[in-house]
Structure 1
Amino acid sequence: MEKIIQITAGRGPAECTWVVAQVLKKMLDEAQQSGLEATVLQRQAGTENGTVETATIGLKGSGVPDFTASWIGSIQWIGQSQFRKMHKRKNWFIRVFEIERGTAFEMNETDIRYQAMRSSGAGGQHVNKVSSAVRATHLPTGISAVAMDSRSQHQNKKLATERLKQKLESENLRQLQGQVGKEWENQLNVQRGNPVRTFTGTDFKKAKTEKNHKAIRKKMKQNLQSNEYN
């Protein structure tokens, strides 16, 4: 399972970009602890040292759906501004959302057409008589790559395939960057309220929102005993 998520401060002030940087660290640490593969695909620094305006992360692993579900939404930080000591505001919001992947091109052997070509350039009579160069074309996209480095057609085929793979990866990255930019435009206004996670203080500790089930069970037991005596 693979997903791409983005952390953004939107139009928020420097304090929000500081929160993005902290959330990015927390998310990467938590992904590692969960056994997921996390890769920072894009990171845009904020105006202040150590801050991040937006970051895009690629996640891989069987636990990705549950992991992303626990992060997607508004993130709240409660704390004093790191940059404006006299500022009264103590509630800062950023947002985490999923980026829908576009069409990712995969390279399957059945989708590649190979064409033998005559090599050109220096090399003596051999290059004029033997079709040792190879053009590899990815049929679904029309992207192609040529190799004529070796006198061996087999070796050139291998090189052309590797270069084609690199071109497809570059095209996938280009499309992803375009999608990230589109999503960024759509998410400039970060929503506040109903945070999925809340952190506090300069140490950025997660606020405890879990109910104390032990205390609840104890209270229910006391009520039952009281009812038995009544």
Structure 2
Amino acid sequence: MKQKLIQITAGRGPAECCWVVAQVLKYFLKEVQEIGLSYEVIHRSPGNENATLQSATVKLKGSDVDAFLKKWLGTIQWVGTSTFRKYHKRKNWFIGVFELDTVVDQKIATKDISYQAIRSSGPGGQNVNKVNSAVRATHMSTGITVVAMDSRSQHQNKKLATERLKQKVWETHLDKVKQIVTDQWENHLNLQRGNPVRVFKGTDFKKMKKETSFKHKRNQLKNDLRNQIK
């Protein structure tokens, strides 16, 4: 069963683009459910306005995941009037949907972690400051460190520290990859605006059919030519 990580991002776009990310996420997950893929939203970065998202990261699993993503990866366009800036003239807003390949196989081996027993602090009885029951776990290649002192058992604290460290390293790595994707999105945005994979319209976010032929463009060119001749 294939697994993919997908980021839906507004890049450094304004509040309108962040609103589009939130709407696209809903639409995206609805289609995921309809075709029977399993999913998990593993991260959301809120926008500055209510009900907006700067980015969202989704883990997908299923045999049909590649075919599904062909309809989504790329630029998404929303055609509509800003609800945040009443007199803003702009009508076209763009966000990106990207695959985060480099994160999927990110694993941490136990050999990459160093452990140190330390004394617990705070309430917990007479033994809390006398026994080295707390555990500090450090990921040696990144220097990321966590401490677990939830239990009086050093073994249990070591287990908790390991789980927390793996989660923290994962999140740190994911943040770095998302930043790389955001930078790439900013660099290529102007080139991708003319060829969105999906187009939505209006505050009700209805999907618009994408042109499957050049008939519309040909007619537009003819009209432009006629206007120039007149």
Question: TM-score category by the smaller chain?
Answer: 0.5 to 0.7
Shift of 1:21: 2.0
Instruction: Say what the alpha-carbon RMSD is for the aligned residues.
Output: 4.0
For the Cα contact (< 8 Å) 1:9–1:17, is it kept in 2? yes
Percent identity, aligned pairs only? Answer: 36
**2:9 corresponds to which residue?**
8
Q: Which amino acid aligns with 2:164?
A: Q
1:114-153 paired onto structure 2 within 5 Å: 123=127, 150=152
What is the aligned partner in structure 1 of residue 201 from structure 2? 200
Contact kept in structure 1, 2:5 and 2:57, CA below 8 Å? yes
Deviations along 1:166-192, whole A, 9 cap, x unmatched?
212211211211222232223224230
Question: Relative to structure 1, is the Cα distance of residues 35 and 86 closer, same or farther in structure 2, using a 3 angstrom cutoff?
Answer: same
* CA–CA distance in structure 1, aligned partners of residues 150 and 202 of structure 2: 61
Q: TM-score, normalised by structure 1?
A: 0.65
1:44 aligns with 2:30: no
Distance 1:75 1:96 in 2: 7
Instruction: Please report the TM-score for the alignment, with normalisation by the length of structure 2.
Output: 0.65
Q: CA deviation at 1:27?
A: 1.7
Is the Cα–Cα contact under 8 Å of residues 118 and 133 in structure 2 kept in the other structure? yes
Greater Rg over alpha carbons, structure: 1
Alignment of 1:76-225 (within 5 A): 76-102=77-103, 104-107=106-109, 111=111, 123=127, 150=152, 156-189=154-187, 190=189, 191-209=192-210
User: What aligned pairs does 1:56-75 form with structure 2 within 5 A after superposition?
Assistant: 56-62=56-62, 63-75=64-76
2:9 and 2:96 in contact (8 A); partners too:
yes
Q: Say whether residues 1:55 and 2:55 are aligned partners.
A: yes
C-alpha deviations, 1:77-122, integer Å up to 9, x for none?
12233344554443322211122334622456xx599999898995
Q: Partners of 2:87 and 2:118 in 1: how far apart? A: 74
Q: Which runs of 5+ in 1 are unaligned?
A: 212-230
Three-state SS of the structure 1 residue aligned to 2:162 is helix
| Aligned counterparts of 1:101 and 1:205: Cα–Cα separation in 2 | 33
8 Å contact 2:4–2:60 — kept in the other structure? yes
For the Cα contact (< 8 Å) 1:76–1:198, is it kept in 2? yes
Aligned to 1:25: 26
* Equivalent-residue separation in structure 1 for 2:85 and 2:134 (angstroms): 62
Q: Between Structure 1 and Structure 2, how many residues are aligned?
A: 198
* Letter aligned with residue 25 of structure 1: K
CA-to-partner distance for each residue in 1:171-227, whole Å, 9 max, x for gaps? Answer: 12112112222322232242301111111222111113487xxxxxxxxxxxxxxxx
Alignment-mate amino acid for residue 6 of structure 2:
I
Measured after TM superposition, the shift of residue 42 of structure 1 is 3.0
Residue 219 of structure 1 corresponds to none
